[in-house]
């Protein structure tokens, strides 16, 4: 049986994205290819949310330009404020090196619009919710683009199989009852 090639994209938390960024000293940003296809009608704001670690990469958006680290910090703040999912991408040839990070949402991102189309690896972490502390405010449901968090009979329901480990739910929780824990193998 032939070995499956890793998908181009995988999911990580913003903390993991910061660590990836910390390994580099040169950066480029380009427009999001998905947002360009929609004519920049994305409800999540800015169009230039595709960060790259090299001048040449698998990124598909236009208007690539080199930026200083302070612009990368502004992009990270935007991603945090808008609850964007960090989706690093690998090189197309070997799929072994991370070339950059797309910051995605469910408004225009092809992956969220067509999750059965382009595969995306789950992250190294998975959510853990303290249900006793949860007030069922719904903030985490609104930002879970993977559909892992829903409201059922006025109670929070979490489908951990659908959790990709982005941590956006944790960032949105006013009760701070969500933590990210290492994902067990096969989850």
pLDDT at residue number 46: 83
Overall pTM > 0.85: yes
Strand order in the sheet with 27-30: 65-67, 27-30, 50-52, 98-104, 85-90, 9-10, 120-121
The partner residues of 86 in beta bridges, in order of sequence, read 103
Buried b / exposed e over 111-137, threshold 16 CB at 10 Å, is bbeebeeeebbbbebbbebeeeebeee
pLDDT higher at 157 or 105: 157
> Does the pLDDT at position 114 exceed 60?
yes
| 101-115: average pLDDT | 78
Closest CA to 7 of 108, 106, 123: 123
Residues 6+ away with beta carbon under 8 Å from 179 = 127, 128, 130, 170
Instruction: State the CB neighbour count (10 A cutoff) for residue 19.
Output: 11
Fold category of 125-182 in CATH: Alpha-Beta Plaits (3.30.70)
Domain ranges of the chain: 9-121, 125-182
Q: How does pLDDT run across 18-34, given as a tens digit for each residue?
A: 999 999 999 999 988 87
CA 43/CA 72 separation, integer angstroms:
21
Instruction: State the CB neighbour count (10 A cutoff) for residue 41.
Output: 8
pLDDT at residue number 60: 76
> Does the pLDDT at position 187 exceed 80?
no
Q: What percent of the chain has pLDDT over 70?
A: 94
What is the pLDDT confidence band of residue 2, given thresholds at 50, 70 and 90?
very low
């Amino acid at each position: 049986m032939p070995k499956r090639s890793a998908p181009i994209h995988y999911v990580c938390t913003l903390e993991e994205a910061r660590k990836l960024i910390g390994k580099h000293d040169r950066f480029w940003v380009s427009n999001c290819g998905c947002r360009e296809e929609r004519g920049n009608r994305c409800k999540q704001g800015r169009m230039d949310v595709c960060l790259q670690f090299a001048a040449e990469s698998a990124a598909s958006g236009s208007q690539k330009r080199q930026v200083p680290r302070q612009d990368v910090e502004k992009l990270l703040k935007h991603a945090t404020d808008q609850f964007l999912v960090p989706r690093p991408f690998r090189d197309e040839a070997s799929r072994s090196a991370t070339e950059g990070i797309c910051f995605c949402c469910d408004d225009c991102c092809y992956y969220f619009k067509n999750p059965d189309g382009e595969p995306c690896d789950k992250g190294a972490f998975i959510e853990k919710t303290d249900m006793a502390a949860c007030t069922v405010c719904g903030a985490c449901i609104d930002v879970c683009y993977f559909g892992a968090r829903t409201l059922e009979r006025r109670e929070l329901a979490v489908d951990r199989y659908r959790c990709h480990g982005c941590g956006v739910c944790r960032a949105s929780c006013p009760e701070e009852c969500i933590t990210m824990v290492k994902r067990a193998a096969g989850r």
